[in-house]
Each structure stands twice: as structure tokens, then as C-alpha cells.
Amino acid sequence: MLYIKCPYCGIRAQTEFAYGGDATVKRPELNKEITDKEWDEFVYLRKSLRGKHLEFWHHISGCRQWFKVQRDTTTHEIFKTLKPHEEL
Amino acid sequence: MQKYSVFNLIKNAFSGHQNWEVAWKDPTPKKSYDVIIIGGGGHGLATAYYLAKEHNITNVAIIEKGWIGGGNVGRNTTIIRSNFMHDANGRFNEFSMDLWRNMSQELNFNVMFSPRGIINLAHSDAQMNVYARRGNSMRLNGIDAVLLNREEIKKIIPMADFSEDVRFPIFGGLMQPSAGTARHDAVAWGYARQADSMGVDIIQNCEVLSFDVVGGKIKGIRTSRGDIKAKKIGLCVAGSTSILAEKLNMTLPIETHLLQACVSEPVKPLLDHVVTFGAGHFYCSQSDKGEMVMGGDLDGYNSYAQRGNLPTLQHVLTEGIAMFPFLSKLKMLRTWGGIMDMSMDGSPIIDKTHIEGLYLNCGWCYGGFKSTPASGWTFAHTIAQDKVHKLNADYNLNRFSKGYLLDEKGLGTKTWIS
């Protein structure tokens, strides 16, 4: 069981959360001409890092807030959790 | 190569089985090869075998970081099927089925292919309609499919829960009678032994550190056992694909995720088929040793850990008990995990890359084992001819940017309901 510290609620069990994927992917700017390549990168391409990985989680069975987690993808150790607008 | 036969078995019995030839050698890497296959799993070993057999390319090395067959080919739940709806997936996997049917004879190694049939259970009228459609698509592609109603299912698997007051009552199911299972380790060993006998070097405990790319062409690799030159290199490393892609400055439409499987204590024969639960993600078969072999969902977050976490296992087995209540009485014997190269549309990638001489085989998601022979066959063709075969033409890398996704069942990096 992973124990994840929701920045709003504190430490809770993994079963309260849903995973949201890589948090470093940036959506292309709105109202701008966007190439197929840019969409491809945003929608499909992922670095899938081994080691420290910054990712979104959703406290879906709790406060329902999204937030960021820095976690090791090899050991599953969680280093830090952040509110979605915060940077590392 | 010494043939495996009953006569050789008797002959070797007289010397206490001390004089069998080694199944494959342990060579020192040469300075250069025509083709290097990175990854000594099922797909890599099959690729090397078909390169030698179909294309007469024998100056080939398989580079494996650990030992052959130590990854997903030894960690899967051994299910072989071609019950796909999309033409590309149906064609590819039915070709794979043809290779499975003859594999033991061809490799002179008993892979214990057991075409016992797979049943996908349906739990609503709507799901029966979906299965009827899938079954029709399969039959149009020459794949056997039988739609079964509740009574017919009950005759085949009477031990399932047929109560009417349950959350997911059994309405019927779709069966592919020719689907089945095989002994997964034997597949790796059979391909390895034949590839080795045709001159392929199987190099274990050899880690790829970096790639040598000059002017957009692949020249070789640097490994923990020295530099090796090659004209062509094929990547066949499943869950480790993104790690090697990073060394090549490539970003791919895949993520590495963790998938678990487990077996119960052995019990007397009771389940003759592979059965899947239709209202979640759980499947079950019984091994020849009597263990119930079970698997289901991804753990749900990016992982390279090769070991699972309890909440997912509990979730998967809850579905299992809903389908087969007797499972709750069994003790768990072993659980394990493997790391999957989950593609964004749930279908694999077998293609050339923008680097000349570099070929990519990845994105196998939940179902790499059943595709092992076809994957090796088509990847060998792609490498040898420097062009994709019509069987893997739709498994190209640029289908994502072009919008031609092969989204068979809505599977991929994300679990369905989370």
C-alpha cells in the first residue's frame, strides 16, 4: 500500500486516489496554430522515466482535488507532494 | 544439435542423464554482427530464430542484460488467443496461432500448447450484442468464434456463480475454441536452442550502455562487455523500451506500467478452459500442476519495480471470487509482477525508426506472450528486408500522429475505471 500525502487532507491510503500520469506534459497554448507534431507530443508521447517522476494524482475518494506527486518509479518512494500550480 | 526424442531420452538414461549437450552456448561477444537484437525475451529470441530460419541471416547476437526468459516471457499467464475485432489485430494474431500450432514440432521442444478454448463472459444484454459483433468480425477473418448463452456456459463451467441476484449475473459469453495456453518458459528455451544451433550468439549478463549513431545511421552499441558493431539493431525490450529510447533521444507513445499475476495452491482438475470476467478485468485458467493461474488490472501508475502492490491484487481477486466463488477457499501460492510497455492505444508497435538500421518492437501491453511467434516472424522480416510486412504494417509508429489508432478494447496506459 502506498501512503500519499494529499496537500489538502494529509496522509491517506493509495486506495483513495486515482493516477493522472506525467505532470510535466504541457498542453499547447490555446488559440494558437498547432502542428500535428505538437499534438502528438502532448497527447501520446511520454518520457516514462525510471527514477524520480513528477505525476498527477486525484484524491477521487476524498477532497477530489488534483495535485502533483514526486515519486520514484523503481522503489515507489514518494519524496514530495505539491498543489497543482506549485513547481518543484 | 542433439535431437530431443524418446530414443535420445532412453540412450541418455544409461549415462544417468549426465551427457546431454548444453541447450545453448555462452559465447563471448564478437567485435561485430550483421544484426543485434537487444532483449533476450520471447520476442527477441523468436526474432533471432526467424532471422536465421526465414532470411538466412545467422551472424546475429542477442544481447540480454539479465538471463534469457527472465522478463515477461516467464511472468505472463500463458494465454494464447486471437479473439480480436479489428482486422489488423485478427490477421496478426491468427497468423501467430498458426505458428503456435506447429511450434513444438518446429522447435523440437515441447511447448505444451494446449488449445483448450477461451470464454469471455458477458453480464448484460448489451455486452452480448458487443460479443456477437466481435464474434462476427472474427469469423469474417477466418477465426473461430462461438456465441454461447447462459445455459451453454453453465454446462461448460458449472462452478461459476450462476445466481440471479448478484451484481453481475452471467448472461452468456463468447468462446474461441482454438485459443489456449502454452508453457511459457519452454517457448523462450525452444527458440533459444534452435537460434543457437543456427549460429546466433546468445549473450547474457550484458547491459547496453549507449548507442553509436553517426549521421542518422546506427553503427553499434556500447555494452558492459565491450563495444559491438552492427549493421542493424532491433529493440525488443518490452518494459525497458523507454530507458533505451532515452539513450537514443527518442520519446515514444508508451509508458511502463506494472502488471501482477498470481497462482493458487494446486487443486484437482476443475477448470478446462481460460475464462475471463466481463464486468472488470480478471482472467483465470488452471495449470497442468493444478494451480489456478490468475491476473487482471495494472497497478495503475508508472513503475519499473517488477513487483506489485496489494490493493490491486485484492481488487482483481474480488472480481475473481465474484465469478468463481470457490476461489475464496484457496490459499495463494505465489504472486509476482512484470513491467509492461503500455502503448497509448493498446496495440503494439513493430516498425522502422527515423534512425537508419534501428528497428523497434514494443507496446505489447497485456498481451505480448500470445504474439511471440508472429512478433518474431514479422520483426525478422522488417529487419531483414528493411521494410514492414503487410501483417505488421498497421503496427507502425506514426499512427498516433496520423490518427489511425488501433484501439481494440480501449486498453492502454490508463486503467478503465480508476
Chain B residues within an 8 Å CB radius of A19: 300-301, 418
Question: Are the beta carbons of A46 and B255 separated by less than 8 Å?
Answer: yes
State mean pLDDT over B164-176. Answer: 97
- Domains of chain A are 3-82 (3.30.2270.10)
Distance (Å) of CA B42 to CA B39, B228, B235, B256: 9, 22, 13, 18
pLDDT at A30: 87
Nearest to B311 among A14, A39, A76 (CB): A14
pLDDT at B110: 97
Whole-angstrom Cα distance, residue B335 to residue B260? Answer: 7
Considering the entire predicted model, what is its pTM?
0.96
Question: Are the beta carbons of B413 and A21 separated by less than 8 Å?
Answer: yes
Question: What are A2-53's pLDDT values in tens digits?
Answer: 999 999 999 999 999 999 999 999 999 988 899 988 999 999 999 999 999 9
State mean pLDDT over B250-268. Answer: 97
pLDDT at B417: 40
Question: What are B136-148's pLDDT values in tens digits?
Answer: 999 999 999 999 9
Question: What are B7-40's pLDDT values in tens digits?
Answer: 999 999 999 999 999 999 999 999 999 999 999 9
Nearest to A40 among B256, B303, B401 (CB): B401
Helix (H) / strand (E) containing B282: strand B282-286
State mean pLDDT over B348-362. Answer: 98
For chain A, the distance separating the N- and C-terminal CA atoms, rounded to the nearest angstrom, is 25
Question: Are the beta carbons of B400 and A40 separated by less than 8 Å?
Answer: yes
Question: What are B301-335's pLDDT values in tens digits?
Answer: 999 999 999 999 999 999 999 999 999 999 999 99
Chain B residues within an 8 Å CB radius of A2: 309
State mean pLDDT over B65-83. Answer: 97
Q: Phi/psi of residue B147, each to 5°?
A: -90, 125
Chain A residues within an 8 Å CB radius of B344: 43-44
pLDDT at B415: 55
